[in-house]
Structure formats: C-alpha cells, structure tokens
Structure 1
Amino acid sequence: MKLLWSSLATAVALSLSNGAQAQVLPNYQISNPWYQQAQQGLQHKLTAQPNTQAKNVILFVGDGMGISTLTAARILEGQQRGLQGEENALSFEKFDYSALVKTYNTDAQTPDSAGTMTAMITGVKTDAGVLSVDEDIERGQCDSVAGNELTSAIELAELKGLATGVVSTARITHATPAATYAKSADRNWEDISDMPEEAVAAGCKDIADQLVNFKENLQARFPEASIDGLDVVMGGGRRHFLPKDPAFNSSDARSSVEGDRTDGRDLTAEWQQKYSDGVYVMDQAGFDAIDPTTTRRVFGLFNESHMQYEADRDNDIAGEPSLSDMTAKAIEILKQDEDGYLLVVESGRIDHGHHAGSASTALTDTIELAEAVERARAAAGDDTLILVTADHSHVFTIAGYPRRGNPILGKVVGVNGAEATAADGQPYTTLGYTNGLGFQDLGHETDGDASYDQEINAGRHDLTLVDTTLSGYHQEALIPMSSETHAGEDISLHATGPGAQHVQGVMEQSQVFHLINDALKLVAK
C-alpha cells in the first residue's frame, strides 16, 4: 500500500510539474468553479510585484471588528445583494495580503482600545486605558506622564512634512482617534470636566485641548521642525470642545446644555483663530459645501457625542456625512499635498453596536467601513498602502448548524429545511453574545443604544413569534452584564499597496506602526 501511494504521489508531482493536470485530475474537478476560483486567486498572488515605497498610507481601524464580525458582515452584505452570502467578500477581504494580530495590552489579556491603538500608532504596547504613553505610567496619575510620552506615526508624518488626517464616527476625543495626537494618563480625560482637580493643577491637559493645540505641543517637543498641524479632523464629540453654557449650543444639540467644558473655553473658536485657512463644519450642509480642491484644512464635529450609527444616520437632526463620504473627502483634501499623507480612519461604532448587544447595528457599520475602504482604494491610487484592521474583538458568536444561505440575522434553519430548536424546545438564532444586556425585541428601532433604556434581560427567551432579522432585535446573552465586553482572541489585518507583502503570519499589534514607518520612511531604522 505504501509503495502504491508513493508511486501515485510521484506521478502526480511529475504531471503537475509538466502542467498536465488533466492526466491526474478529472476534467470535472479542474473545471469546477471552486477549483478555478482558488487557482486564479493563487495565480494573482504569485504574479504580484512587491513594492515597499509608498507615497501615502491609510490606516482603517474597525473598532471591535473581530473575525466573527467580519464573517457575519460579509454574509449579511452578500444577502443584501441577493446572494446566499457565504461566498461574498468584503472589499478589503479581497486584498492580497493578510495576517492575524495579537491584541493583548501589557497589563490585560483582553484589551481596551486605548492600549491597542497606542500599540498600532506608536509601535509600543502599553497598559489599558492610557494614550500614547508607555507602560511605566500609572493610569490616572498626571505626574507619571512626563518622560513616558510616545511619538505617534501621525506626529512623525507631521515632522516629515506630510499631510495628516484623523477621521472617526466616534467622538474624536475617544480612545482610538485620540491616541494619534494626545498623551494622557487616562483615556477618559476627554475634556477638563472629566479630569480630577489634582491632574489639572499638575498641568495635564485634557484630550480636546491637546487636539486643538496639537501643532504647538509638537513644536514644543521638536522646536527645529516646521509643523503645520493636522489637515483634516472629522468625527463626533462636540460637547468636549464647548463651554457648559446653553449660549454655545449648536443647532442640533440634543441636551439642554450641549457643552461640557467647565473652563469657559470654546475650543472650536480657538481652532478657527489658529487656522485662518481652515473650515469648521458641524452638519451635512457644511460638509457638502467643502470644496476639496481649494480647502486645505477642515475641522468637522458632526454630533454632540458619537456620530450616529449608519443605520440611524437619517434620523440626525442636522444631518451627518457617512464614514465613506468623510473618507473620500479627506483623501481629496490630503492628496493636494505633493509630499504625500497619512490618514487614520476609525469606524468607531461597530464596537458600540456590540456593546449594546445589537448585531444588526454592528454589522451595518462594518459594511459601511468596507464601502469606505472601497472608495479609498479608488481615490488613493497605486502609490498608497492601505491597511485595514481592528483594535480588538467582541464576545460575538456564530453558532448552531444553519443551512447555506440562511439569513445571518435569522433563527437557525437546518439543512433539512426545518427550524432548529434547542434542548429547551425553543428556536434560537445563529448570532449571539456570551455576555451583555441580552434579548430585546424593539422592532424597527435603528438606534442600537436603545437597549440601554431597558432592563438587563440575559438568558433564554421564546423567539417563536419574534422577527430576529429586524434592526431592533438584540441577541440573547448568556451572562448578564450592563454592557457586552471585548474579547481577547486575535483579529485580522488586511493590506494592499506598497509594503503590503510584509503583512503575513501572526503579528504583534505594535508591528502595524512599523509597517507604516517602513512604507513612508518616517524614521530611520
């Protein structure tokens, strides 16, 4: 038997080396669409010409976009397009290069966004809850910041004379975007009202203040450099830039007093005074009026807090641009700089949808991120390295044995066509959470955060008469918690463009910085 197998293996190897696959494999195997698709995909990779020097880099971060989120989102997007879903691929899943990335913080097995984004943007892993400072810091202790500051890729790009931009659907002072420009002993110090008195007295600055004074702060650290400041900043979080005074309320303020700042400062006005060439916008009309061919600097704050979920965006009072629209316009502005640019784009609300236990919300925002990546690739050109990753995952599961093409948001229907039931005799959904707020049947509600207005409702429920495919359905959760949590497994990194070939294997999260640095030559090795 061993001799027969050895002879057959030799014959296969010889026939394949001679290009004569038909001598060994039957025609129906070679002509099978799955076989052809895989063969063509590999051939494309084999013929790709590696290049390491990029003019521009765009880093996309899907906050909370773990592997199960990608799988479910690709199926949902495919089903929305009339496919069965499983064969679909999100735009960035078609990139030639990908890797797994370890996400732990230096003090946490399951990480938070502050520590993970610090790793990606500075090349140094650090503790949970702190921004662009190393692990020698003590969270919440202002006096531990000095001497532990890290320099981010955005700052290095500024020092090199490149254009820079930060875009997010979360508050622009939230952990992921903030790590690009701020140094803070606590991610929660978004404005001065969030800080303890001793930290303010010791001279630590809140995150919003650091954003508006980014140029001056970087210049103070590198006095010989010529720095012009961030060119594009767009996101939510207006409350952290405005005084706690109703006189400063914006037209779409949801609170009776929109601003949170207790120091009386209007940082939006301060930014406009600093940059006479800049445009400050706060709604869809202002965004639409921006001419990217003539505008060199933009500061957009489109919501009092986080921007709307993509599914809920039409309900915004003054209107908000989508993530893909912000990305496309940011690129058009930044590409006016002939030296190149570094742009960081965060889809921040994927994470929030999961925390609220709303798979529909999280997946819809993931699909919008894929659209933003597609538009970026079309607008950026072949001289741009595009990296798409996440900061961490969530305790989000795809389970049961649903048949091919079963609605991903639906109840499990088996390969026999019958609705499956659990040991308790009740139907169950493909998607679920290990912990969190649990089941809610809110119908057509599009605001994923609506579950926070309800009582925690973990455990099993009778779903027989519940339409789980509606946007207001929140999946069951096993362990009752006030908010669903992050998870600790690896996430993925996808890459295309110059330097993308280095994205392979299992990587430390801090290596993302080095991919950016290698492509743009920000600092000497």
Structure 2
Amino acid sequence: MLKQGLSVVIASILSSATYAGSATAATTTDTQLNNAWYKDGQATITEKLQQSRSTRAKNVILFVGDGMGISTLTAARILKGQLAGNSGEEGYLSFETFPYSALVKTYNVDAQTPDSAGTMTAMMSGLKSDAGVLGVDEDVVRGTCASVKGNEVVTALELAEIKGLSTGVLSTARITHATPAATYAKSADRNWEDISDMDIDNNAERADCEDIASQLVNFEKNLEQRYTGVDVDGIDVVMGGGRRHFLPKDAAFNSVDAVSAIEGDRTDGRDLTAEWSAMYPNGQYVIDQTGFDAIDTESTERVFALFNESHMQYEADRANDIAGEPSLSQMTEKAIKILDNNPKGYFLTVESGRIDHGHHAGSASTALNDAIEFSNAVQAALDATNDEETLIIVTADHSHVFTIAGYPKRGNPILGKVVGIGATEPSEDSAGNPYTTLGYSNGLGFRDLGAETDGDASYAAEAVAGRQDITAIDTTTSGYHQEVTVPLSSETHAGEDVAIHTSGPGAQLVQGTVEQSVVFHLINRALGLVGQ
C-alpha cells in the first residue's frame, strides 16, 4: 500500500501537482524536464538499457594508462575541456562515456602501494604477484634467477598466440619496461631489461636467466619450448621505445637519433634488432616517423618499431624528436589495421607509459597532456573497430599521490592558482600566500621552468619541500612543477583504487569493486582463451 502511495505521489509531482511556493506544477516540471543535466542523465540511462549483453568478442584491446589514478582522470578531463575553450568540468575523456565502469584494487601480494610489474602481471595472468617481478607468481624471490623456474604464469597475450590470434604490444615507454614486458617476459626482476642490468659477474646464477629484451625477440621460441605441442608465429606488432636494450655497447651500432655517445647497452655483443630481422624476413624494423608512415597496413605481416634510445618523448615534446616519432593514437590506429588482417581476431595491449613518468617528475602539465593523448588513442581505437565484435578495456595499473584541492570556482584554470567562487583574486593560505589547485604529497617539489615541456628537467636539482611564494609566478606554464609536503628524489605511487571502463562484448561484466586480477578473466571470457 505504501509502495503504491509513493508511486501516486511521484506521478503527481511529475504531472499535475503544485509545488509549494511555485506558480503551477506545469511550470516547475517543464523547467526540470527540459534542464540539460536532467535530460543528459535520462539519455545516459536510456543508452545503458540498450547495450548488448553478449560476452564473446573477436578482438580485445587493453589500454593501460600507467599511473592514471582517479585524480588524473578528473584533472585531464578538465584540462582537455579548457584547452578547447570550455570550463572543462562538464566534459569527458573518450572512455569516460563507456557504458560500464568499476573500481580496481591495485595492491601487490607483498605491497600495499604497488608497482607496475606486479599490477600488470595480475592483469595479464589472473593472479596477483609481488612487486618488481614479471610473469611469475608470488613464490618467486626477487633478484634470484633460480626461483623463476616453475613459477612462470601464462599471460593473456601468450594464450591469444596459442589460439591463433594476432597480437600486439604498444607503449610510449621502453618496450622492455614493466608494463609492456609483463605481457611476454618471465623475470625475477623488472630491471633486467638487458644483460648489462643483471650484474652477472657478481651474481653468477643469473647467467641462467634471459634478459627481458632477449625474451621479447625470442618470444616465439620460448613459448613453444615452454608448452609441448604449441605452434605460434610470434608477436605481430611491437612499438615503443628502448632501443638501447637491443643493441651492442658499440658506437658502430648507433642509430641516427642516438642521444648517447654509445647508444647500446648490451655487453654480450648481440644486436637483437638484426636477430629479429633474420628471424622474420618479411617483417619491418622501424626507428622513425618516415619508416612508420611507410608501413602498408594491408600487406605488412609484422612490425618491430623502436622509436627512441630510451622512452619515447612526452607528448608535449614529440615534435622535437630528432628522427620523428608517431603519437600513441597513430600507433594504435596503425596496429589495429595490421592486426585486423587476421580473420580469427587479435589481442592488443596499449600503454601510455609516460603519464606515470610525468607524475614521478612532479609535473602535472606533462602527465595530463599525456593522459589527454591516451584518451585520443582510445578514440582512435573506437573509430577503427566495431563495438559488436571488439571489447575495449581502459584502466590503470596504479595511481599517484596527486591531489585536486582548495575551493576553486567553476572553470578556474586547472593548472592555475585557486580562485574561489565569486572571487577575482587567488585564495590565500594561513600565511597569506596563494596556492595551486593541483599538488603532490611528495616528490621533487617546486620548479618554475617557464616554457620547458620536458618534465624530467626537474631531476636536475635537489628536492624542494614546503610552501613557496608563487604570487608572481604563472603556474599554468608547462614548466611549472607543483609544491610538495615530503621531499623525495622522485614522487611515488599511491595505493587507492583505480577505475576501469569497458565497451563492447563482455563489457557488462565489469561491476562494483574488483581485484586487479579480474581483468585477465574478463579478457579470457571475451576471447575464450582457456577454460571457456
């Protein structure tokens, strides 16, 4: 009876009842029903009700914004809108319009605040592991080569290869860095990117372990040896930075855009780029924008692209690259066009690695501009795929100690100083000094580098803690680095949950708050990789 009474009351309010203090019900109701916020919310619910309930996909694309916590999403969304001349708060990043989202718990087995190796291993394997190790379970001992044997886990990328799907790994970081490496490598230490990192002279037992760069080139052989009867053709598309880990420590092997006097780091004399080319004579090894642009996506069988000696450029600096390098969205679009030549489907991982690096450097501007390009890459994938056959997953591996604070008014520059509602001058702290909306709990702290776009320039000086007089400083410039409370040589990760957004077949399985290892099971269910 009560339920029926409430229904009558609600119907009355939305039709003919009169609100106290208002002229007529019709006037008040029309105003509400025609309000843009009201209509937008109604349209959102209507759209969700029309979503497909299929759980099987032909293709899966996993996007990982490294270090892209909730505060980063919010600030990047606002900055994107403000760069377009809007207030910013009302906008969305491309994937924030996806029909399904949830929260993801990011801790490692041995760490409350995680690192990228353990978190990506969880997403790739379906089980959580320790910080600092790749493609192995929690029983491994970090830095001990012998502990790897028997503790290896199989990854979604490997299972996709075994099923006959095409596969790809893209990153703006070194391709041997933790997040991309977790898709293909088994290592007791994420830092063993090449043999020179393993210090074998002082740790003889490590000679039995293969460095990460070598594992990438030998991926096909290693996978077939690990599982009897398996026949795969190797990763089809690899694009990122990190050329130094594939080249000998010999200036004769320098690339045209080498930054160091000797670009290569390998102390075993191996040129892994040449080994890859010999292994895949029909493949294309690419190092610059010209080579990238020349790739014919309809005829190219596979691509190995290393665009930089170390990490690729921050998005804000990409145009300054000596030999030129593509954006993350360009790499994503090209990779999809190559991979979708396989009628069986594909699995692609795309990482925006330098969001994380911008935050570590304490440069909000750098991190947020890379996050905006990450959003562009997701949009490129949406434009290049069919929502009825491709599941797109967008998430982060962990967050950062990055905050949005104070009481700035609507539309206040997100990189600027706090100006309150109705005010024209910046708000002040208890000592009478203005302060910024964005900040970091720890890290290198205050820098006023003007138009400098390289966030890593902050590492050239010692950490600065506490408040500074920023009254006369333009904090919206790309070279401004936010103040911190705790001075450290680098800003740290944070431990709170991150978001996951999904679209396409199986997207509806993302609900509530989940363990990070659930991401693998989402991919597995969509592609029917194992046990499905």
The TM-score with structure 2 as length reference comes to 0.96
> SS state of the match for residue 151, structure 1?
coil
Q: Which whole-Å CA distance do the structure 2 matches of 1:303 and 1:33 have between them?
A: 47
Please say if residues 464 and 487 of structure 2, whose CA atoms lie closer than 8 Å, have aligned partners that are also in contact: yes
CA gap of 1:38–1:249, structure 2 versus 1, over 3 A, is: same
Q: 1:331 and 1:269, CA in 2 relative to 1: closer, same or farther beyond 3 A? A: same
Which of 508, 511, 514 is 1:504 aligned to?
511
- In the alignment, what sits opposite 1:229? 234
Please tell me the residue identity of whatever aligns with 1:403.
K
In 2, the alpha carbon distance for the partners of 1:291 and 1:89 equals 33
Q: Does 1:9 align with 2:6?
A: yes
Where does residue 292 of structure 1 map in the other structure? 297
- Are residue 55 (structure 1) and residue 46 (structure 2) matched? no
Question: By how many angstroms is 1:81 displaced?
Answer: 1.0
Q: How does 1:165-204 map to 2 (within 5 A)?
A: 165-197=168-200, 198=203, 202-204=207-209
The residue type paired with residue 63 of structure 2 is F
- Cα shift readout 1:231-275 (whole Å, capped 9, x = no counterpart): 000000000000000000000000001000000000000000000
User: What is the letter of the counterpart of residue 86 of structure 1?
Assistant: E
Work out which of the residue numbers 492, 505, 526 in structure 2 matches 1:519.
526
Q: Which residue of 1 aligns with 2:165?
A: 162
Greater displacement, 321-330 / 41-50: 41-50
Is 2:489 the counterpart of 1:492? no
Secondary structure of 1:26's aligned partner: helix
Using the alignment, how far apart are the partners of 2:436 and 2:6 within structure 1? 45
What's the offset of the Cα at 1:26? 2.1
Note if contact 1:141-1:199 (Cα within 8 Å) is conserved in structure 2: no
1:278–1:295 contact (8 Å) kept in structure 2: yes
User: Which residue does 1:408 correspond to in 2?
Assistant: 414
Deviations 1:156-205 (A, max 9, x none): 00000000000000000000000000000000000000003135654100
Tell me how far apart the structure 2 counterparts of residues 37 and 494 of structure 1 sit (CA, whole Å): 19
Equivalence for 1:425: 432
Cα displacement (A) at 1:11: 2.5
CA distance in 2, matches of 1:441, 1:275: 48
Distance of aligned partners of 1:47 and 1:243 in 2 relative to their CA distance in 1, 3 Å threshold: same
> Is 1:316 aligned to residue 313 of structure 2?
no
Measured after TM superposition, the shift of residue 424 of structure 1 is 1.2
Determine the C-alpha separation between the residues in 2 that align with 1:87 and 1:63.
24
CA distance in 1, matches of 2:445, 2:129: 32
Of stretches 104-113 and 377-386 in structure 1, the one that deviates more from structure 2 is 377-386
Could you tell me how far apart the structure 2 residues matched to 1:435 and 1:323 are?
29
Residue in 1 that maps onto 2:102: 99
> Which residue of the partner structure matches residue 119 of structure 1?
122
What pairs up with 1:363-512 in 2 under 5 angstroms? 363-382=368-387, 383-417=389-423, 418-512=425-519
TM-score by length of 1: 0.97
Q: CA RMSD in A?
A: 1.5
Q: Which amino acid aligns with 1:359?
A: A
Residues 143, 202 of structure 1: 8 Å contact kept: no
Pair 201,347 (structure 1): closer, same or farther in 2 beyond 3 Å: closer
Q: Write the deviation string for residues 349-400 of structure 1: whole angstroms up to 9, x where unpaired.
A: 0000000000000000000000000010110212100000000000000000
Deviation at 1:300, TM superposition (A): 0.2
Query: What is the alpha-carbon distance in structure 2 between the residues aligned to residue 314 and residue 200 of structure 1?
Result: 44
In structure 2, distance between residues paired with 1:7 and 1:243: 78
Aligned residues: 519
C-alpha change, 1:311 and 1:199, in structure 2 (3 Å) is: farther
The 2-side partners of 1:466 and 1:278 are apart by 51
| CA distance in structure 2 between the aligned counterparts of 1:22 and 1:123, rounded to whole angstroms | 55
* Contiguous gaps of at least 5 residues in structure 1: none
- Which of 55, 71, 76 is the equivalent residue of 2:74? 71
Residue 284 of structure 2: aligned partner = 279
The change in CA–CA distance for 1:200 and 1:292 in structure 2 (over 3 A counts) is farther
> Is 1:328 aligned to residue 330 of structure 2?
no
Q: Distance in 2 between matches of 1:230 and 1:175?
A: 17
Specify whether residues 395 and 21 from structure 1 end up closer, same or farther in structure 2 by C-alpha distance, changes over 3 A only.
farther
Native 8 Å contact 1:142 1:199 kept in 2: no
Unaligned runs of 5+ in 2: 18-24
Identity %: 68
SS of 2:370's equivalent?
A: helix
Q: Secondary structure at the match of 2:471?
A: coil
Displacement of 1:31 in angstroms is: 1.3
Contact map agreement 2:217 2:276 (CA 8 A) in 1: yes
Distance 2:371 2:131 in 1: 24
- 1:225 is displaced (CA, Å) by 1.9
Secondary structure in structure 1 of the residue aligned to 2:502 = strand
Cα distance between partner residues in 2 of 1:225 and 1:487:
40
1:140 aligns with 2:135: no
